[in-house]
Structure 1
Amino acid sequence: MAPEKRAIRISGCSGSTTDRRTAMALLASNYENDPIDVLVGDWMSEGNMTVRAGSKINGQVAAYEPTFLEALEPALPHISKYRIKVAVNAGAADTKKLHEAVTRLVEVRGLDLDVAWISGDEVLPQLLDAQKRGESPFENICTGQKLDEWQFEPIYAQAYLGGLGIAKAFEKGADIVVCGRVSDASPVIGAAYWWHNWKRSDLDKLANAFVAGHLSECSSYSTGGNFTGFKDFEVLGWEKIGYPIVEIDEMGQVVVTKNTGSGGEVSVNSLTSQFLYEIQGPWYFNSDVTALLENISFEHLSTDRVALRGVAGALPPPTTKVGITAKPTYQAEMHWFITGLDVKAKARMMETQIRHLMAPYLSAFTKLSFQVIGAVLEDPTNQNSATVDFRVIAQARKAEDLAPAKFVRPCIDPIMCTFPGATPHLDLRQAFPKEVFEYYVTLMPQSSLSHKVHFASGETIDISPPSATRSYPKNQPTQDETASVPAALSSFGASTRAPLGTIVHARSGDKGSDCNVGFWVRNADEYSWLQTLLSTAFMKNYLLADEYNGGRVERFEFPGLRAVHFLLKDHLDRGVSCTTSVDFLGKNCAEFLRARYVDIPLRFLSRGRI
């Protein structure tokens, strides 16, 4: 049956394997007061892609995301009663098994719901065959490395699929569609495409749905989660921050709101925060469409209702992203506490002693890092504020290379001969070797994929790749300095040294080993100052400081958002699956940069701080 000809209402109810699992039932049960047409959820990240790939290969457990079933089960009666559609990517590396599990749940409850599943994301055989034939070097899009130069052995590869398989499943009567590695926004694209009976050539409409999917894919990130203006939300109920609802009409126009009675807010600022998360620049790629973002803006309509403006569509690229997982390496870490004075000297003493004891084993380590995390406050009034974490972390190709005699014993044996107050963390579980998976990000032709929809009836439908595509340059457009430079920073008047984040919002995130960070301000004159201040040279030479690793930095401005965006290429130590950084998702890069002191005009500070 064709859906109604009105705007479709889609809610993003999960952005992580550990997002609040009450969301589906909460949203579905309140249908009569706040109707939702489609519930979508993102259960996959580059972290669990590798972990589930390892589970798939060793066959010990089903390699889908079980937390999806915890969210779905209590919502099923309401989903059935109100005929709410569901599309999620929780299949991870075992979508067929998740389909079987969901089907059992539906049958046990005696519900009339059809469950379909999407395949085609598992692509290791095609990729390795193409590599052998020399069809592509399969260059790493973060590092530029070629696949045959990678020192690790691939065991699994997943391609990012578009949303048209989901659309076809809904068209043919499916109520619940479970997917593996479709892109985060693909469920929204697929739902809108089905609802409005769009065509592949409706590029502007698809691009708006794509951005709407990005705004809702991380659930509460659009309604106040992970937002630098979070302090304002304490009075708005930050213990019950809501879920975004995107309303997409037949022409692709998008309005974002949230579920009734929830905390947080939908505002221009909260949506700017989510928009700037994990993008690469002004070209935003999906298997179905490329969104051109140069002129993007948000328009406040009323309380908790904001319209998306300025997005244009272009042909999709002929390729899609592929994440490759390699055989595991091993990692172990140990922690000491350092308190009070002379932190640097104490850390240097401990590192020297540990290295001396580890010397016979170091040749087998692929990485060894000593890190001081935190800082001692001046004239501390309690002991915690005078204590930092000294972290020792190592990686090796074999578990036996990080055996207790070779790692944890050298880490802990200096206890009687090291710095004053030396205290080890008593929980040593992390000090024993655990598996971590190397991850490699590349591109492969969409024409190489076998994208299919599988129905409960046994019917299978092929989803063809786009017939019209466009190849884009390797790198995003970049501008090292603003094209609209005022006379000088001094033209903004008297200033004082203060943290950048005093008046500047920011948001950062990871894609492989790349990190993106976007900054934005509240007022037009502040934006002129921000554009001038945040040059590529200023980012490299001052803001990043010791964190700058010499990599490529791309810069782009979004005037409609009063934002300056940076892409920090290969900034994150190989990505979330195997990094030795505590900022393994790149989310704290923005918070570090906001804490850096700059000269801020006094007239801006007089308007109030964030």
Structure 2
Amino acid sequence: MAAFARSYTSDPVDVIISDYMSEVNMTIGAARKVDSTHLTPDMGNAFVGAGPAFEASFLEALEPALEDLGRYGIKVAANAGNADVQGLYKIVVEMVRKKGLQDKIKVAWISGDEVLPAINEGLKNGSSKFKNIYTGQVLERWEFEPIYAHAYLGGMGIAEAFRQGAQIVICGRVADASPVIGAATWFHEWKREDFGRLANAFVAGHLIECSTYVTGGNFSGFKSLEAADRWVDIGYPIAEISQDGQVVITKQKNSGGTVTVHTCSSQLLYEIQGPWYFNSDVTAVLDQLWFEQLGPDRVALHGVQALPPPPTTKVGITARGGFQAEAWYFMTGLDVAEKARMTEAQLRHSLKRYSDKLTTLSFSVLGTPGVDADNQNAATCIFRVFAQAKELKDIASGKFLRPVIDNIMQSYPGSTFHLDFRLGIPKPYFEYYVTLLDQAKVSHVVHFNGRETLIPPPTITNVFAERQPSQPSTQLQVDLSKFGPTERAPLGSIVNARSGDKGSDCNCGFWVAREDEYVWLKNLLSVSTIKLLLGKEYDESRVPKLEIERFELPNLRGVHFLFRNLLDRGATSTSTVDFLGKNCAEFLRARYVDVPVRFLARGRL
């Protein structure tokens, strides 16, 4: 933030947006907001963390930027308020005052995202069952007690705050892209029915919401950055949005990283769930989208289609799930599978008198020892034991950690456990339930200069089917033998991919650089093929059931998959180490398929 503000004269921006919210810190913020006195200080607070219910790191970013923000009049919109928006607002106002900038910098805050009372009222009067959008479960049958509910707000409150003269707008759970929608609506004086323009701003917001993800971070083509000496100090992105909604993505001058069609494709495919992309203000339709490289680090967005927003908005409900702990052993060299089987059998026996109280007990091997490795670290992998229980006493150290480490003398050759036992100390975890709430039930309010302005819900909406359009295989089938001789090789030899989490779901998008490669890719990657590539991750006995949805993005040369319930119950309670789903793409890229030799000769990008 300070770098953007300081560089205004040579690299000007009108608005700096900051997206701080994720499902992980939403649950932590919620737990900090509500009464947690039933948790013992050494157990509960060790995980929840002593601290505010807002994102304190926003203050670290804002404080050194304030003088330049005041000097150049740059506006700021941030959803760092989490579960205590007013609390963060008061601190920012005081910070501005201490720097003597109160006459220049005016601060507003947005309320309305705290909706647990509306959820409870809806349950009481029977107006909604509040079905979980991932699992189909209804809220009254959820076995956990809600403690907090965040609604995802749109950008119209931010636009109104800017219109009234605010320079900094503090928000809670506005959707990730809502600050960009709000900024563009204010700047260009758009109307709420300008859906085409709003949809472009929405996609622009999605592209830059994760900061350096669109400039080379978390990018499967990352090796290309090394050749250009751009691995270090990957620059932050800038979205240029015109009056008619045209979008160009670029980045800070004199920084590392890059902005290309491929980095933009990577971020576009991140955390979407189908061709319909929902926000409280607009629905963007993505399947005809494409990017154009205008020049170095300048990419234009094209082909976004628009529909009105749904009448509902997403709500994330937090509950205390129980407690969890884990322990690690190191296994080296030969016979790792047999060593793991032996250890699991021994530990199941040792834990047998306690395990009936555990809700989860899992054993897994992380990694594979290198073949004929020339150093011991490369020959070592991790054996992980993970457990959850509803009650602290049922997973206390004497009932989990101690039996696990006491097994060492009878275990496999070279048996060694990790000496950092902190992971084995029980800590609370949270359950997260995602549902929909009528936007008319949300009291979306701008607080500025002693007045409150209610932001009404959209008057034009569109009701969508519960499931997005899905196509199990490509419509026009082509015999894969027509692409010539093949070689067994990793899919990622020529295919880029990107994945991420949304509640219990994981998405994964694949794309290639050339048209003939796309014809091959969309014919190869059917739902049936992706099940084979998922291997043991595709478990038909999983509850809730793992379902797969697919759609194509022909102008992006991409194929997108949604893996419903792959992440168990979501990032805050899943037993998998890939709790954010970010490594699913890299796992699938490493799977071997028959790749046309002529494609391999070209390279990936």
Alignment of 1:508-587 (within 5 A): 508-540=499-531, 542-550=532-540, 551-587=546-582
Aligned to 1:598: 593
Which one-letter code corresponds to 1:507 in the other structure?
R
Aligned to 2:90: 100
C-alpha separation between the residues in 2 aligned to 1:379 and 1:581?
A: 29
Aligned to 1:47: 24
C-alpha separation between the residues in 2 aligned to 1:353 and 1:413?
A: 11
Once the two structures are TM-superposed, the CA of residue 126 in structure 1 deviates from its matched residue by 0.7
Contact 2:321/2:573 (<8 A) preserved: no
Q: Answer with 134-143 or 181-190: which moved more.
A: 134-143
Which one-letter code corresponds to 2:505 in the other structure?
D
Say whether 1:401 aligns with 2:394. yes
1:114 counterpart (89, 106, 113): 106
Once the two structures are TM-superposed, the CA of residue 426 in structure 1 deviates from its matched residue by 0.2
Once the two structures are TM-superposed, the CA of residue 377 in structure 1 deviates from its matched residue by 1.6
Aligned to 2:434: 441
2:73 counterpart (83, 87, 97): 83
C-alpha separation between the residues in 1 aligned to 2:457 and 2:432?
A: 26
| Number of residue pairs aligned between Structure 1 and Structure 2 | 584
C-alpha separation between the residues in 2 aligned to 1:240 and 1:280?
A: 31
Contact 2:231/2:256 (<8 A) preserved: yes
Once the two structures are TM-superposed, the CA of residue 485 in structure 1 deviates from its matched residue by 2.0
Q: 1:52-100: per-residue Cα shift (whole Å, max 9, x none)?
A: 1000003764200000000110011111100000000000000000000
Q: 1:484-508: per-residue Cα shift (whole Å, max 9, x none)?
A: 222x000000000000000000000
Once the two structures are TM-superposed, the CA of residue 609 in structure 1 deviates from its matched residue by 4.1
Contact 2:498/2:508 (<8 A) preserved: yes
Q: 1:368-402: per-residue Cα shift (whole Å, max 9, x none)?
A: 11110000121111111111100101000111111
Say whether 1:203 aligns with 2:198. no
Q: 1:445-477: per-residue Cα shift (whole Å, max 9, x none)?
A: 00100000001x211100000011110000110
Aligned to 2:142: 150
Q: 1:88-133: per-residue Cα shift (whole Å, max 9, x none)?
A: 0000000000000111110000012100000000000110110122
2:409 counterpart (374, 392, 416): 416
Contact 1:549/1:571 (<8 A) preserved: no
Aligned to 1:185: 177
Q: 1:541-582: per-residue Cα shift (whole Å, max 9, x none)?
A: x11110013321110000010000001111101111111111
C-alpha separation between the residues in 2 aligned to 1:452 and 1:146?
A: 29
Q: TM-score, normalised by structure 1?
A: 0.95
Q: 1:261-294: per-residue Cα shift (whole Å, max 9, x none)?
A: 0111111000000000000111000000000112
Contact 1:518/1:564 (<8 A) preserved: yes
Aligned to 2:418: 425
Q: 1:394-436: per-residue Cα shift (whole Å, max 9, x none)?
A: 0001111111110001100111111110001000011010011
Contact 2:266/2:497 (<8 A) preserved: yes
Q: 1:210-262: per-residue Cα shift (whole Å, max 9, x none)?
A: 00000010000110000000011112321111111000011001011111001
Identical positions, percent:
59
Contact 1:241/1:262 (<8 A) preserved: yes
C-alpha separation between the residues in 2 aligned to 1:76 and 1:236?
A: 32
C-alpha separation between the residues in 2 aligned to 1:389 and 1:73?
A: 42
SS at match of 1:277: coil
Once the two structures are TM-superposed, the CA of residue 328 in structure 1 deviates from its matched residue by 3.9
Q: 1:164-217: per-residue Cα shift (whole Å, max 9, x none)?
A: 000000000000001000000000000000000000110000000000000010
C-alpha separation between the residues in 1 aligned to 2:604 and 2:165?
A: 52
C-alpha separation between the residues in 1 aligned to 2:245 and 2:494?
A: 34
Q: After TM superposition, what 4+ stretches of structure 1 lie above 4 angstroms from structure 2?
A: none
Q: Answer with 581-590 or 228-237: which moved more.
A: 228-237
Aligned to 1:250: 243
Q: TM-score, normalised by structure 2?
A: 0.96
Aligned to 1:478: 470
Alignment of 1:463-474 (within 5 A): 463-474=455-466
2:218 counterpart (207, 226, 232): 226
C-alpha separation between the residues in 1 aligned to 2:342 and 2:457?
A: 59
Alignment of 1:152-551 (within 5 A): 152-234=144-226, 235-455=228-448, 457-486=449-478, 488-540=479-531, 542-550=532-540, 551=546
Aligned to 1:4: none
Say whether 1:73 aligns with 2:68. no
Q: 1:478-531: per-residue Cα shift (whole Å, max 9, x none)?
A: 111111222x00000000000000000000000001000000001000000001
SS at match of 2:394: helix
Which one-letter code corresponds to 1:567 in the other structure?
L
C-alpha separation between the residues in 2 aligned to 1:279 and 1:608?
A: 27
Once the two structures are TM-superposed, the CA of residue 355 in structure 1 deviates from its matched residue by 1.3
C-alpha separation between the residues in 2 aligned to 1:180 and 1:370?
A: 38
C-alpha separation between the residues in 2 aligned to 1:164 and 1:508?
A: 29
2:15 counterpart (28, 38, 62): 38
C-alpha separation between the residues in 2 aligned to 1:563 and 1:484?
A: 15
Which one-letter code corresponds to 2:60 in the other structure?
E
Contact 1:485/1:528 (<8 A) preserved: no
Contact 1:116/1:454 (<8 A) preserved: yes
Q: Answer with 138-147 or 490-499: which moved more.
A: 138-147
Q: Answer with 343-352 or 595-604: which moved more.
A: 343-352
